[in-house]
Amino acid sequence: MITGACHCGAIRYALSAPPRQSMICHCRTCRRVSGAPVVAWLTVDPHAFTITNGKPAHYASSANVARQFCNQCGTQLTYARTDDDSYIDVATATLDNPDAFPPSHHSWLSHDIAWIKFADGLPMFQKSRGDG
Ligand SMILES: [Zn+2]
Ligand SMILES: [Zn+2]
């Protein structure tokens, strides 16, 4: 079982299957809601994701988007579309072992902060992978 938590531990979750995808998002929405220059995400089958402790709060950062976060410590945990239940994104850095699923690419470089430089050699996309 793959497990993770918010910073204070009030919210814990488990994944019963490995993620489908692992990426780093440079979009301005992820940046502002997290207060961090980029956010790493795992794309997971929603049926494989379970909150095992606590009750996260929700925030609609855009139309048709629900982000879950801990209302005690503020850790951002998930991103989901309310009009697409085929996946949920889980913040990679909230895993108990974030080294387990390294990213394969970067997305939304069109929103990037100019001083962010990665030397990991991974593919970079101006929008989502697939959007070009
Ligand atoms: Zn917390
Ligand atoms: Zn983003």
Mean pLDDT computed over 118-123:
96
Which residues does residue 76 pair with via DSSP β-bridges, in sequence order? 69
Q: How many whole angstroms from 9 Cα to the centroid of ligand 1?
A: 5
Mean pLDDT computed over 105-131:
92
The answer on pLDDT for 132 being more than 80 is: no
Q: How many whole angstroms from 77 Cα to the centroid of ligand 1?
A: 10
Q: How many whole angstroms from 73 Cα to the centroid of ligand 1?
A: 4
Q: Count Cβ atoms within 10 A of the Cβ of residue 23 and give its class: 0-12 exposed, 13-18 middle, 19 or more buried.
A: buried
Please tell me the number of the ligand nearest to residue 125's CA: 2
Query: Which residues, by Cβ under 5 Å, contact ligand 2, an ion?
Result: 25, 27, 30
All structural domains of the chain, each given as residue ranges with its CATH number in brackets, are 2-111 (2.170.150.70)
Q: How many whole angstroms from 22 Cα to the centroid of ligand 1?
A: 23
The answer on pLDDT for 3 being more than 60 is: yes
Q: How many whole angstroms from 37 Cα to the centroid of ligand 2?
A: 10
What pLDDT shows up at residue 32? 96
Please tell me the number of the ligand nearest to residue 106's CA: 2
Q: How many whole angstroms from 22 Cα to the centroid of ligand 2?
A: 13
Query: Of 20, 42, 38, which Cα lies nearest the Cα of 89?
Result: 42
Q: Where are the alpha helices (DSSP H) in the chain?
A: 28-34
Residue 124's identity, in one-letter code, is M
